[in-house]
Amino acid sequence: MAIQVAHVFTDRRHGDLAVDGAPAVLTARRAAVRATPWTWLRQVHGFHVVHAAVPGEHAGVEADAVVTATPGVALAVHSADCASVLLVGDGGIGVAHAGWRGLVAGVIEATAAALADLGTPPQRAVLGPCIRSCCYEFGGGDLDLVAAHYGADVRSTTGSGTASLDLPAAVAGACRAAGIEELDDAGTCTACSPQHWSHRAAGDTGRQALVAWLGP
């Protein structure tokens, strides 16, 4: 029987899950989502991936992705505009924090490779709420750099007609580069949604989370 995969993309209703919050408050909010120790990360917009084999292993380390093949281990990444991406293999999962710098650094490909090393290469991915091209003004050499990695589809325009980055298109390009063709997209723009924190649109310090685990 295939192992089941569960995941939650939190929003304001779950409370602020920024990792530097009050420990007791964070513990209660995390438990309300998934009542087991989380492997959460101090994200640095890089491509480092860790492997969690027991609940809470590597919690608080500097990394931008974590993988597991152990049922019950809760993996978490946090965002307020960047992409949170779940990678799913046959018996393993990974979660990645993917802003444009992390994407260019290869965080999706590195997460896929880490899952392959566990014997469970990813077959599909799920993209959660993130800033979308309508709101992500972005130009110059940085946009050229992302396009050089993931193609012209990453170039878009904002609602006011200025150059922007299509972050979901960049995630899709990274998934294809990692051999993942199936990508499910939540379709929500954090900058447009009143239910989500957005650093870019509102200067929010609050964070939502992607939390994922293998059954039961």
Cα(103)–Cα(114) distance, integer angstroms: 16
121 pLDDT band (50/70/90 cuts)? Answer: very high
Residue 59 CB neighbour total at 10 angstroms: 18
In a domain, 214, yes or no: no
Mean pLDDT of 141-164: 96
In a domain, 68, yes or no: yes
Domain range for 156: 9-208
Is 152 exposed, middle or buried (CB count within 10 Å of its CB: 0-12, 13-18, 19+)?
exposed
In a domain, 213, yes or no: no
In a domain, 3, yes or no: no
Give the chain's domain count: 1
Closest CA to 120 of 133, 111, 131: 111
Residue 2 has pLDDT above 70, yes or no: no
Residues 48 and 63: beta-carbon distance below 8 Å: yes
Which pTM value belongs to this model? 0.97
Residue 122 CB neighbour total at 10 angstroms: 26
Q: Kindly state the percentage of the chain with pLDDT values over 70.
A: 99
CATH label of the domain that carries residue 81:
3.60.140.10
Closest CA to 25 of 16, 36, 35: 16
Residues 39 and 96: beta-carbon distance below 8 Å: no
Look up residue 214 and give its two tokens.
Answer: 């293998």
Per the prediction, the chain carries an average pLDDT of 97
